[in-house]
């Protein structure tokens, strides 16, 4: 199928993009790895496509005030191979390697993956695990939204009409981390994926953060499981308990790819593996 007719505007600055997005039913085009298929399937029928690929001010990756600041237009592959990302937020670097294939990651952008808000996608869950903050720009200026408040449902975010995601601010994490993902074929969207960070003090887990993709309408942050790990050693029993708690805190969909019960069970299995690996890497 071919896309339904739409107007096209190539913005050369953030101001131009925001102004164009004031048009009713306008849609941002970043890497196009999700939007173009949606257009061709006529599941998206925007009146205007606002291409931000020449908005250079949205393409950056730097350390600032001890945090990693990422422009929304930064390509997946650029971030994945960045020495700063690998040393400051290795969980993000590892997770990026699970997003589609290299050809997809060469074009796809960090902001596009977040704005697309696929419940099975890696990056929304990673940003929720890392307590990232998102800057969005709209006709009334700029505001900051915490990652945990950004994802409202499948493909639904806190972006208001006319708003654009511009910057992702990520606190560093240099403790232990792990990604565990189950998909039907290598690098397909996840059936379930689990992202874990742990901060250890000797044998004691000071804090743990867990996020699960593919197990609910938005990324799940199982706080009860996290709390059960904090303040004690990561014994096999502690890890098994946390994994069971994760399963109870998920709300997975059942569909033709996998029934809900299977996803819930896999969330527990992957959590157990991820915490064990995170502990080893700490």
Place of tokens 């009334």: 140
Asked whether position 112 contacts ligand FAD by CB under 6 A, the answer is: yes
* Neighbour-count burial for 215-231, b at 16+ CB within 10 Å, e otherwise: bbbbbbbbeebbebbee
Q: What is the DSSP letter of 257?
A: S
Asked whether position 96 contacts ligand FAD by CB under 6 A, the answer is: no
Nearer to ligand FAD, 31 or 90 (CB): 31
CB of 201 to ligand FAD, least distance (A): 34
Whole-number Å distance between alpha carbons of 141 and 151 = 21
Q: Choose the stretch contacting ligand FAD; rule: CB under 6 A; options: 5-13, 106-114, 144-152, 214-222.
A: 106-114
Q: How many CB atoms lie within 10 A of CB 186?
A: 8
Asked whether position 189 contacts ligand FAD by CB under 6 A, the answer is: yes
For residues 229 and 208, is the Cβ–Cβ distance under 8 A? yes
The binder of ligand FAD chosen from 59, 109, 228, 271 (CB under 6 A):
109
117-156 positions binding ligand FAD, by CB under 6 A: 118, 121-122
Whole-number Å distance between alpha carbons of 143 and 214 = 28
Whole-number Å distance between alpha carbons of 82 and 59 = 14
CB of 32 to ligand FAD, least distance (A): 4
CB of 278 to ligand FAD, least distance (A): 21
User: Which residues contact ligand FAD by CB under 6 A?
Assistant: 27-35, 72, 98-100, 104, 108-109, 111-113, 115-116, 118, 121-122, 159, 164-165, 187, 189
């Amino acid at each position: 199928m071919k896309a339904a007719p739409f107007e096209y505007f190539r913005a050369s600055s953030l101001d131009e993009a925001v102004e164009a997005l004031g048009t009713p039913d306008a849609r941002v085009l970043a890497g196009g790895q999700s939007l173009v298929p949606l257009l061709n399937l006529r599941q998206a029928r925007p009146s205007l496509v606002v291409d931000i690929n020449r908005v250079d001010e949205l393409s950056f990756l730097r350390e600032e005030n001890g945090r990693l600041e990422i422009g929304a237009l930064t390509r997946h592959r650029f971030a994945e191979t960045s020495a700063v990302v690998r040393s400051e937020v290795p969980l993000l670097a590892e997770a990026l390697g699970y997003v589609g294939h290299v050809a997809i990651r060469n074009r796809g952008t960090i902001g596009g993956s977040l704005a697309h808000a696929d419940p099975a996608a890696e990056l929304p869950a990673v940003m929720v695990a890392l307590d990232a903050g998102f800057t969005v720009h709209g006709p009334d200026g700029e505001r900051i939204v915490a990652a945990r408040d950004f994802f409202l449902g499948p493909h639904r975010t806190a972006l208001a009409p006319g708003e654009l995601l511009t910057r992702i601010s990520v606190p560093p994490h240099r403790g232990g981390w792990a990604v565990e993902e189950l998909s039907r074929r290598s690098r397909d969207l996840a059936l379930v994926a689990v992202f874990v960070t742990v901060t250890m003090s000797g044998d004691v887990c000071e804090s743990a953060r867990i996020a699960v993709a593919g197990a609910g309408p938005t990324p799940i942050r199982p706080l009860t499981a996290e709390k059960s790990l904090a303040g004690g050693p990561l014994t096999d029993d502690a890890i098994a308990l946390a994994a069971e708690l994760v399963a109870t805190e998920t709300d997975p969909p059942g569909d033709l790819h996998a029934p809900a019960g299977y996803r819930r069970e896999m969330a527990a299995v992957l959590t157990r593996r991820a915490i064990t690996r995170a502990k080893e890497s700490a």
